[in-house]
Amino acid sequence: MKLLAHILCLCLALALAQAHPGPEHGSAVLDRCQGLEMDAVAVNDEGILYFFKGDHVFKGFHDKAELSNESFAEPDDHHHLGHVDAAFFMQHEDSPDFYHMFFFLDHKVFSYHQPILAEGFPKNISEVFPGIPDHLDAAVECPKPECDEDSVIFFKGDDIYHYNVRTKAVDKKEFKSMPNCTSAFRFMEHYFCFHGHMFSKFDPKTGEVHGKYPKEARDYFSRCSAFSEDSDHVERERCSRVHLDAITSDNAGNMYAFRGHHFIRKDEGNDTLKSDTIENAFKELHSEVDAVFSYDNHLYMFKDDHVFVYKVGEPHTHLEGYPKTVEEEFGIKGPVEAAFICKDHIAHIIKGQHMYDVNMKATPRVARFKRRISVFRKVDAAMCDSAGVKVVVGDHFYHFDSPMRFIAAETLPEQQKVSMELFGCDH
C-alpha cells in the first residue's frame, strides 16, 4: 500500500511538472531553415541582425539558435509575459535613448544599452511610447530623411503608427499594398517586412512595395540551401544580404564569390552571372569555404584547418595530395578569415585582426610579417584585381590601391554595396 501511494505521488508530481514547467527552457533545437516565422527582428549596434523566435535568438545570418536569456536575462524573469512581440534599435542621435535596443512583450517594454537593462525598466508601453498599443506585431526605427521626422514605425494588424521620437506625436496610417508584418527591420538603409518566412521590401513613408515581392526570406537572410525548383539561384546570390564567405579573381579575370552552399561566377568582359553549388563544382569541399585566392591558374580554397587546391577549368580539377593542413601548406594554423594575392607571388592571409605574407615560390612556405589591421575588427572576404584590393565586410566592400595601403589605413574609404557594385543588383 505504501509503495502504491509512493508511485501515485511520483505520478502526480510528474503531471504537475509537465502542466507547470519551471524556468528551464525546452531543449528542442530550432532550425531557421525549416521555415520559422520569426517573432521579431532587430539590428544591434554592430549591424548584426537578431532574429527572435520563442525563447531563442539567432544572431546573424547563419549562427545556430541560442537562448535569448544568455544575452538579455530580464525579459525571461517575467514568466507571465509571452515571447518578444517586436524589437528595434534606436539610432536617432537626438534621442536620449540613442543606441538603445527595445523589446516589446505584451504590454511591457524593455530598454537595453550594450546589454545592460536601463534603469527603471521594464515599463508599460504607454508610459514610454504614449499612443502606441500593447501586444504589437512589429516595430522599426526610421530616421530622417527616410521618414519625414525621426520616427519609429509600429505595426499591429492593419494599423500602422508613425511615432515622432522628438514630439511623441503619433500619426496613424494604413499601408494598403503591404501584408501584415510579423516582424520588421531596417537594414542597409532598406526596410523589410517579414510575413511568415516570406518578406517584402517597403517604402517606410507610404508602405508601397516595388519590385517582385514577396520573396523567400531564407534565400536572402539565411545561409540555407534552395527550397524549391522555383528558386532563382542567380537572383538570390546577387541580391542576398548575407555576407560573402570568400571572393577571388582567376588569371583570366573571372570573379568567383562564395556564400554558404553556393557560389556565383562573373566572367571577365561581360556581365554574365552564373550560380552553382559548391557541392557540384568542388565536390570535395561540399559547402561553406572560409577563404579563396587564385595563383598560377589554381584556386587555393580554405575550409577550417585545411586547404584544397583546384586547377581552373571546365570542370575544375582537384589536385592529388590535397587537402593539406593550412599549417603544412602555409606555415600558419587555420582557420583563416580571408586570403588574396595580387600580381606578384605574395599571398596575403588574414587571420583575426592580423595579415600575414606568404611567398608562394618559397619552399617551405612560411607566414611572415605579421601586421595588425586597424580599420576593421573582422574581415569577411578579400580579393585583388587590376584596380587594387577589395575588402568585404558584411554587405559592403572597401577599395584600397594596394595591400600596403590597406594595412596602413587609419580611416575607411568610401563604402560600396556588394550586391549593387559587384553583381549589379538593382534592389
Residues 74 and 135 in one domain: yes
Radius of gyration of the chain (CA): 25
Residues 248 and 376 in one domain: yes
Domain CATH code at residue 364: 2.110.10.10
For residues 189 and 199, what is the distance between their CA atoms, to the nearest angstrom?
A: 16
- Model confidence, pTM: 0.57
Residues 127 and 271 in one domain: no
Residue 155 has pLDDT above 90, yes or no: yes
Residue 38 lies in a domain: yes
Residues 404 and 363 in one domain: yes
Quick check: 415 and 398 in contact, CB under 8 A?
yes
Residue 9 lies in a domain: no
What is the band of 86 on the pLDDT scale with cuts at 50, 70, 90?
very high
Residues 135 and 51 in one domain: yes
Domain end residue (candidates: 157, 187, 221): 221
pLDDT tens for residues 291-331? 999 999 999 999 999 999 999 888 889 999 999 999 999 99
pLDDT at site 390: 95
Looking at the structure of the chain, the number of domains it has is 2
Residue 19 lies in a domain: no
Identify the domain containing residue 321 by its residue range: 233-422
Q: Which residues lie across from 172 on neighbouring strands?
A: 161
For residues 7 and 11, what is the distance between their CA atoms, to the nearest angstrom?
A: 6
Mean pLDDT of the chain: 83
CA angle, residues 351, 265, 398, in degrees to nearest 5 = 45
Residue 283 lies in a domain: yes
pLDDT tens for residues 169-188? 999 988 887 888 999 999 87
| Longest CA span, the chain | 88
Residues 201 and 268 in one domain: no
Residue 15 lies in a domain: no
CA separation, residue 336 to residues 291, 341, 388 (Å): 7, 15, 21
